[in-house]
Amino acid sequence: MKVVKICIGSACHLKGSYQVIEIFKALIEEFKLEDVIELNAAFCIGRCTTAVSVARWDDKILSVSKENARDIFINQIMAEL
């Protein structure tokens, strides 16, 4: 199982971490990846200046907003499974 961590710290919360979590949950369901991807909440991944910080299983940090969440999920998460 691949673990994806979404920051819910103060800065990321203000930037929309809840919306990103909900979008990712819906995409996991849409693409039937419940047995492949596990979403976890995390506090301060360390890159809160631009968007919500998301850490992949390989420790690559992604900057995600509700506007680019679908694109990043498909091209940076699903594509690497």
Non-local CB neighbours of 78 within 8 Å, separated by 6+ positions: 31, 33
According to the model, what pLDDT value does residue 47 have?
78
Q: What percent of the chain has pLDDT over 90?
A: 89
Q: Which domain holds residue 61?
A: 2-80
pLDDT (average), residues 53-66: 96
Taking CA 75 as the corner, what is the angle to CA 65 and CA 80, rounded to the nearest 5 degrees? 120
CATH number at residue 56: 3.40.30.10
Reported as a pLDDT band with limits 50, 70 and 90, residue 61 is very high
Tell whether the model's pLDDT for residue 46 goes beyond 90: no
pLDDT digits (tens, 9 = 90+) for 17-35: 999 999 999 999 999 999 9
In the Cβ-directed half-sphere of 12, how many Cα atoms lie within 13 Å? 25
Q: How far apart are CA 53 and CA 21, in angstroms?
A: 11
Q: Into how many domains does the chain fold?
A: 1
